[in-house]
Structure formats: structure tokens, C-alpha cells
């Protein structure tokens, strides 16, 4: 996708309140037919689920998904302040998205500038800037588990870098992803974007960014685990209900 196409597609998604990879779902479980069965819970309890997942689609079919809140753009001073602290101008696409669409919160956890979307420690991209990190890298998105995506603002190509400290490599946790910011956002729009992940090459034993095949293998493992958990929950619900009905029928007030 060209830069203008990416901008317009994200603007449309934000306007339609369909801008996040995560949605808030009322608690429940998938039954044997794939339907979402609500379970008793406090009114303010919600589960965070992946957009487009079986859980999201099933919960949405019964009205158990909360609408996303509207997003607001950043002010010009907030964007200019981020550029001053970084020491480089932001890539034109990112700058325009901040100023015209939203101060973060869209896509794969895009962080905002001052006053915008934060990570789980309530830090914006500006708060995450660290002089000990490579010059010109801007923390554009937070994935969870201390994993971030950075964009290199020191070059017009605006190439993406991953940061995955979970390998224990400390300062070597940064690695190039080999795609530009425009391509990175295009992949998100097309449902093909993967979070940064370091893996140890089975042949060389050197740490490197994961390949698409390695990402897909991990996704399958996670999906299988979720399926087993949902299956166990679905199997357990009727048993507990049956036990309770039997107890009532026999005068047990449990």
C-alpha cells in the first residue's frame, strides 16, 4: 500500500471505531457449537480478546463486546515536543496520523505523544525515550511483556526495529525488522503484522528476529492452548450445573 492509502485506511478505521487489535468482551465461554455463553460477573468486569478471534466473533454475535471509545488527535505542540526530545523529525506518515487522526491507541498499540495513548506503565512514546538507547529510534508501539516496536527517525526510509528483552540479551535486544513504517502499518491493516520476537537460530545458535514461519508456528501453539482451555471450560459448565441441579433435587442447599 502507498503512504496515502495507509493513512486513509487508518483514518477510516479510527472513524468507524474499529481501530484496535484488542476488544473488551463480557466474561463467558465458548459452548460446543461455538456460541458465546455469558457467565455471572460484576458489571464492570471485561476480558481483553484479540480482534477477529473466535471468542471476539462469538461474543459479538450476542452483543457481549463493548464499543471502542473515539480517539482524538494530538496537538501540534505535543508532536513538536516529541521531535525536540528525539532530536529528529518524525516520519511524515506518523506525524500526520498523530495530528489528523489520533494521538496513538490505534493499530498494534501505537503509543501517543504527550497526552496520548500509553503502555501498561502509563508511559507515552515520549516518556519511553531513553538517551541510552540507539539514537533516532522512536518507540512507536507497545505489544505487552516489555516488547516494543521502534521506527528509525534518523533516516528518510523510516525503517522498523524490534525490541524484545525477554531473551535476556539486555542491550542487544534491539534488532532490525527489515520493513519501513509504511509497510509495517500496511501489514497491520491487512492482518499480517507480527509482534517483534527474538529467537535463537537452531543452526547458528545466534539470536535473530523470528521468521514468518516461526511466528505462525507460535500462533498455532497459542491457538491450540486456547482451544483446550475453552474446551475444558465448556465441558465443566454443564457438569457443575448438573451437579447443582441434582443437589437441589435431593434437598442439598449447596
pLDDT at 117 over 90: yes
The three cell numbers of residue 53 are 478471534
Instruction: Indicate the helix (H) or strand (E) that contains 70.
Output: none
pLDDT at 140 over 90: yes
Q: Among residues 40, 57, 30, which one has the least CA distance to residue 235?
A: 30
Give the residues across from 152 on adjacent strands: 137
At residue 206, the pLDDT reads: 80
78-107: pLDDT as tens digits: 999 999 999 999 999 999 999 999 999 999
pLDDT at 149 over 90: yes
% of the chain at pLDDT higher than 90: 67
156-194: pLDDT as tens digits: 999 999 999 877 776 678 999 999 999 999 999 998 898
At residue 243, the pLDDT reads: 43
pLDDT at 232 over 90: no
**What does pLDDT average to over the chain?**
88
Q: Among residues 201, 153, 154, 195, which one has the least CA distance to residue 177?
A: 195
At residue 94, the pLDDT reads: 98
Contacts of 125 (CB under 8 A, 6+ apart): 82, 104, 111, 112, 113, 116, 138, 139, 140
User: CA separation (Å) from 253 to 156, 216, 231?
Assistant: 71, 50, 29
Contacts of 10 (CB under 8 A, 6+ apart): 19, 97, 101, 106, 107, 185, 189
pLDDT at 250 over 80: no
Q: Predicted confidence band at 237 (pLDDT cuts at 50, 70, 90)?
A: low
User: Which DSSP category does 164 fall into?
Assistant: -
Q: Among residues 44, 28, 24, which one has the least CA distance to residue 36?
A: 28
Query: What is the value of pTM for the model shown?
Result: 0.80
Amino acid at each position: 500500500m502507498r503512504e496515502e492509502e495507509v493513512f486513509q485506511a487508518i483514518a477510516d478505521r479510527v472513524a468507524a471505531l474499529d481501530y484496535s487489535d484488542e476488544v473488551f468482551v463480557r466474561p463467558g465461554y465458548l459452548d460446543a457449537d461455538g456460541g458465546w455463553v455469558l457467565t455471572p460477573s460484576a458489571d464492570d468486569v471485561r476480558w481483553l480478546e484479540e480482534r477477529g478471534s473466535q471468542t471476539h466473533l462469538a461474543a459479538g454475535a450476542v452483543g457481549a463486546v463493548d464499543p471502542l471509545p473515539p480517539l482524538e488527535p494530538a496537538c501540534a505542540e505535543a508532536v513538536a515536543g516529541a521531535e525536540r526530545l528525539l532530536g529528529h523529525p518524525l516520519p511524515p506518515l506518523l506525524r500526520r496520523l498523530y495530528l489528523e487522526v489520533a494521538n496513538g491507541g490505534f493499530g498494534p498499540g501505537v503509543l501517543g505523544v504527550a497526552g496520548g495513548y500509553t503502555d501498561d506503565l502509563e508511559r507515552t512514546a515520549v516518556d519511553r525515550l531513553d538517551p541510552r538507547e540507539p539514537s533516532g529510534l522512536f518507540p512507536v508501539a507497545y505489544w505487552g511483556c516489555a516488547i516494543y516496536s521502534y521506527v528509525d527517525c534518523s533516516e528518510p526510509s523510516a525503517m522498523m526495529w524490534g525490541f524484545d528483552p525477554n531473551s535476556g540479551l539486555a542491550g542487544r535486544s534491539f534488532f532490525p525488522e527489515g520493513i519501513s513504517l509504511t509497510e509495517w502499518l500496511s501489514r497491520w491493516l491487512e492482518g499480517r503484522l507480527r509482534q517483534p520476537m527474538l529467537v535463537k537460530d537452531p543452526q547458528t545458535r545466534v539470536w535473530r528476529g523470528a521468521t514468518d514461519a516461526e511466528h505462525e508456528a507460535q500462533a498455532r501453539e497459542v491457538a491450540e492452548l486456547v482451544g483446550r482451555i475453552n474446551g475444558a471450560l465448556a465441558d465443566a459448565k454443564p457438569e457443575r450445573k448438573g451437579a447443582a441441579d441434582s443437589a437441589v433435587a435431593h434437598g442439598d442447599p449447596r
